[in-house]
């Protein structure tokens, strides 16, 4: 896995809007939006993921050493909760209860959260930054294939806000104050990507339009890893 990640630095990553792979006879274009699930499945899954990200942000608040960090993380938590509530409100607007629609997806997300759990505060904040960014982008691209009038709004919900920039600033400050954190956090960042891909595979299997075939969606995962690398590079960490 890590060798593959390092190898991506040597070539340009494909565009997420137009992913492709070559075969002996033709080149089939694979768009992530083609794997969009039904709207209620999408809303339930993303609402629960945002709820878990909110809980993770609130845990980071209690472990912050400075008032500045606490305020920043509280702002990130509030923004994430706002996303979750907007998704939950849309579920209610459609005549369903959010907890009922979210319930089928709790196991896969809970297992993921358990695998990436850490008692180290800096690793925890890095997880918020990398995981939140990866999944927001992933689900926003997936939402492009929703055959529903809520499509544009849900993309705006997932991609809006200043939380990512705030988390990046917090991490940059910590790395400047203690450069020794760099290697420690780089290892953690590499640890995260494999588990994130497992969740992404599970989500693509929920598609109502296209069957999941590993060889066909490899470019999707390549782009996810490329996004991960860009975020790591932005912090001066070696992915």
Domain segments of the chain: what residues?
Answer: 32-234
Which residues in 105-128 are b (16+ Cβ under 10 Å) and which e?
Answer: beebbeebbeebeeeebbbbbbbb
Average pLDDT over residues 42-64: 95
> To the nearest whole percent, how much of the chain has pLDDT over 70?
87
What pLDDT band is residue 11 in, cutting at 50, 70 and 90? very low
Stronger pLDDT, 7 or 166, i.e. the higher one: 166
10 Å CB burial of residue 100 (0-12, 13-18, 19+) is exposed
Q: What is the pLDDT of residue 15?
A: 41
Euclidean distance between CA atoms 125 and 228, whole angstroms: 15
Positive or negative, the Cα torsion across 212, 3, 19, 52?
Answer: positive
Half-sphere exposure of 106 (CA within 13 A, CB side): 7
CATH number of 32-234: 1.20.1260.10
**Model pLDDT, residue 87:** 97
- Whether residue 93 is predicted with pLDDT greater than 50 in this model: the reply is yes
pLDDT, residue 176, reads: 95
8 Å CB contact between 8 and 225: yes
CA 162 to chain centre: 15
Is the pLDDT at 215 greater than 80? The verdict is no
- Band of residue 34 on the pLDDT scale cut at 50, 70, 90: confident
Report the pLDDT value the prediction gives residue 227, as an integer from 0 to 100: 85
Alpha-carbon distance of 138 to 101, in angstroms, equals 20
The pLDDT value recorded for residue 28 is 53
Buried-state track 193-229, b at ≥16 Cβ within 10 A, e below 16? bebbbebbebbbebbeebeeeeebbebbbbbbbbbbb
The Cα 158–Cα 139 span in angstroms is: 8
In tens, the pLDDT along 177-191 reads 999 999 999 999 988
Q: Quick check: 2 pLDDT over 80?
A: no
Q: How far apart are CA 234 and CA 83, in angstroms?
A: 25
pLDDT for 171: 95
Q: For residue 227, how many C-alpha atoms fall within 13 Å in the half-sphere facing its CB?
A: 23
């Amino acid at each position: 896995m890590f060798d593959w990640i390092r190898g991506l630095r040597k070539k340009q990553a494909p565009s997420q809007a137009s992913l492709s792979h070559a075969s002996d006879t033709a080149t089939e274009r694979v768009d992530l939006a083609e794997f969009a699930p039904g709207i209620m499945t999408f809303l339930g899954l993303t609402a629960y993921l945002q709820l878990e990200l909110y809980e993770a942000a609130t845990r980071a608040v209690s472990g912050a050493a400075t008032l500045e960090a606490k305020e920043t993380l509280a702002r990130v938590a509030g923004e994430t909760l706002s996303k979750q509530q907007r998704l939950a409100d849309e579920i209610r607007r459609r005549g369903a209860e959010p907890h009922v629609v979210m319930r089928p997806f709790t196991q896969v997300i809970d297992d993921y959260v358990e695998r990436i759990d850490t008692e180290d505060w800096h690793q925890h904040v890095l997880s918020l930054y990398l995981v939140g960014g990866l999944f927001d982008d992933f689900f926003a691209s997936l939402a492009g294939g929703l055959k529903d009038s809520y499509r544009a709004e849900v993309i705006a919900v997932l991609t809006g806000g200043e939380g990512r920039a705030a988390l990046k600033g917090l991490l940059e400050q910590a790395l400047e104050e203690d450069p020794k954190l760099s290697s420690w956090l780089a290892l953690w960042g590499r640890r995260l990507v494999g588990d994130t891909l497992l969740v992404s595979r599970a989500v693509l299997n929920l598609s109502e339009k296209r069957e999941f075939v590993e060889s066909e969606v490899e470019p999707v995962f390549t782009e996810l890893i490329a996004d991960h690398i860009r975020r790591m590079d932005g912090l001066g960490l070696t992915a």
